[in-house]
Structure 1
């Protein structure tokens, strides 16, 4: 009886933790490998939504991480924690031949490697934070490598407009971040890794500079109206 009650409580706790994951469509935004952070490169075709889907009963799911190729992984959520263990994984083998080819194929390989280059039983941790009108999911491997996704709480038409991508450099950054390729008079917001708004301004032109020297070291999100959110690291 006690064992059954314990399992029931763990099930309730699991269900309370996962709606943010399983009810959202996630769009890959950043991969960090060996301390080197890379934001999703633009390509000629749209980025499909990554998603969690039930795989049988209990806490078993398939997480399909998508960029140009798809990297599905069979996972089991560990009740009472923000972790899951990998049971198996795979990756489709299409090769991208369009604009930005080298960057896209390199990034695509990192997406596949995040889940394929670990043995069955590997435990990953995850974190979901709220920022503005969206959420960010960050999955961390035991190596410390991370992969991040954005989820927009907007209508379908609005989500499509968020596929516009601006250029930002350097990343990681110390004193000043340069942003290029945006429109004038847009809201520019910076959120920290907890989802707290730390800076808000208006774009003065197609190229702006944001002071970052005052920020604590860590990961941040920039949101600009009608553009895909951008993740950067203050070192």
Structure 2
């Protein structure tokens, strides 16, 4: 497959970023296939630096003076919508909605498909994974970054929502590191569950081995 390139992305302290503002806040009843139901406020924004249509989903009763539970969830059409078992994105999204609703906080749904490389590139990488490469080596074979995500817009969104310090629901240490580098105080990183299937074990192991995700490898036997 031909080498493909993506625009360069930069990380900047959130205090140097232009201010984003809330565009719309609308109540949406969420209903999941397993019967779980919760009402949420879905928030859109003006002025996000990457020009993408990211969403904040407010769940439970976030305390403006407290430390809300926050998840940065990157869009995954195959996992979130079609229930693909090649990744753990769909189950992580479902878990995050319920845990944040119980604690009070925000799920930021970020339009960064395929760790930022896009849907078509992700499916190209899947084809290479079927030939034996792991998820990171497949990206590299396409001439793409292992992880092209940038969380500057997430920092803007959190500031616009009035969030100060937060607890981050994530197994990925890079998310916490980027937010802290952007001037967003992360008090604690709270791990998600482990959602292993016969189809995603290689993918989950690669996350641990390449990017130090906090997933217990002894739970990925098989």
TM score, norm. by length of structure 2: 0.24
Higher helix share: 2
Which is greater in Rg?
1
Structure scoring higher RCO (CA < 8 A, sep ≥ 6) equals: 2
